[in-house]
Each structure stands twice: as C-alpha cells, then as structure tokens.
Amino acid sequence: MDSESLRTMALLEARSEYNEMNEEDVEFDVEEELTETEAEIQTEAEVQTETQATASTQAAKPQRKRRKTSTVWEDFVLVRIEDGTEKAKCNHCGSELVYNSKTHGTNQLKRHLESCSKMPKKVDRPVYDHLVDRAMVTEAIIYHDLPFRYVEFEKVRERDKYLNPECKPICRQTASLDVYRRYEVEKEKLKGLLEKHRGRVCLTADLWVSKPQNTGLYLLNCPLH
C-alpha cells in the first residue's frame, strides 16, 4: 500500500475513535440529567407530603375559643337554644338576650344589669388594709386603756369577722409591739414640737392612787406658753 492509502486509513480510524468518544460523553450526560431530574421530583414529592401532613394536623387541632374579658360575664352565662344560636342568660332574673361577638357586643348586657330588678346592689366599700386595722386597734387600746389581750377576746374576733371577712386577727404580743411603736412615734413628734417652741414650758406632776385596787397613776401636765 502506498503512503496515500495508509494516510487515508489512519484518518478514518481517528475519525471513528472520535465519534465513539463523543457518543460515550453524550450517554453519560443524558444519564446524569435523568438522575438530577429524578432527585428533583422526589424532593418535590416529599415537600408536598409534609405540607399535606401539616395541613391535616392543623385541621384536626380544635380551635381555641377567645377568652371573654368583660366583667358582665360575672352576671351572665352563654346558653344554646334549639336553632343552634347562642344567647346570654342573666344569672339573676333568667332573661335571655341576643349575643353575638361579631354583631352584638356587651353594651346591651350592661344596660340590662342597670335595670335588672333582681340584680343585687353593690356597695362601694374601701379595700381592707391590715396595717390600717392594726393602727386603729392600737388607738382603741391607748384611748380606752384596754388590756393587750383585748385583741384575743373570742367575741371581739367574731364581730371583726362579721364586719369584714378579710379581717386578720392579731395576738397580744403584736398589740403590745404596735403600742410601743406608736409611743416612739408620738415621742419624736413631741421632741420636734418642743424644739420649735420658743416660749416657756410649765411642767406639773401629780400622783393619783386608787386604794381599793391599790394602783397608782402618775400624771404629767405640760402646758406651753
């Protein structure tokens, strides 16, 4: 074979090998694209499944009712009538009023309470303050010269509970401590008064004795001039 023929055969073989290599690359690219497409489809299916599961869970969960914050619900209760609608029933007279949170508010319920014949009248009274109560007991003990055990008398405690169920009784030790604290407060007030006074002070002392009871009382009068 001459050189021309050999050259032609070499070119044909080279072209054949080149075509075979291109076909293998094309097949590899096609397989890779198919794999990526399948992965995307699988991911979309998983996302759709999770979305459906979440939606079914939310649908199965019961809706929470809105909490009623108005004070009128202390005197009313919701009742359901035969046609399925709800009405507000008065706890005092039994009247049933139309109620719908979207169309009917609580204003008509408030107006009903103002005119309800069986509505108990509310008496405004100050809130019980335990410290104020103790201060008043201290003044009573000092003013009426009562014994400290006065606060432990059974009938006194019963009367206090009747007048105010929130009343908290105290013991004689607490009463004596309150009287002493009141003495210290009044002593400081008297010191301040004497410091500011620019006139004369006259002190008069006297001793009073009770023979039947064998007790004595020392009196000190301090007029300011």
pLDDT in tens, 15-70: 666 566 555 444 445 455 546 556 666 666 666 766 666 655 555 445 555 666 77
Per-residue pLDDT, 172: 93
Per-residue pLDDT, 153: 95
Number of domains the chain is built from: 3
Residues 156 and 193 placed together within one structural domain of the fold? yes
- 0.85 surpassed by pTM: no
In a domain, 84, yes or no: yes
Residues 83 and 137 placed together within one structural domain of the fold? no
CA–CA separation, 70 and 185 (whole Å): 46
Domain housing 177:
130-199
Residues 46 and 76 placed together within one structural domain of the fold? no
Q: What is the DSSP string of 145-175?
A: T--GGGGG-HHHHHHHHHH-TT-----HHHH
Does residue 143 come out as left (phi exceeding 0), alpha (psi in the -120 to 50 range) or beta? alpha
Residues 103 and 163 placed together within one structural domain of the fold? no
Residues 134 and 195 placed together within one structural domain of the fold? yes
pLDDT in tens, 163-210: 888 899 999 999 999 999 999 999 999 889 888 888 777 777 777 666
Whether residue 148 contacts residue 176, with contact meaning beta carbons closer than 8 Å, is answered with: yes
In a domain, 159, yes or no: yes
Residues 48 and 97 placed together within one structural domain of the fold? no
In a domain, 95, yes or no: yes
In a domain, 138, yes or no: yes
In a domain, 57, yes or no: no
Is the confidence at residue 11, as pLDDT, over 80? no
Per-residue pLDDT, 68: 67
Per-residue pLDDT, 32: 54
In a domain, 125, yes or no: no
In a domain, 65, yes or no: no
Please name every residue paired with 88 in a beta bridge, in sequence order, or none if there are none.
78, 97
Most confident segment among 100-104, 173-177, 213-217 = 173-177
In a domain, 58, yes or no: no
pLDDT in tens, 68-86: 677 888 888 888 877 777 8
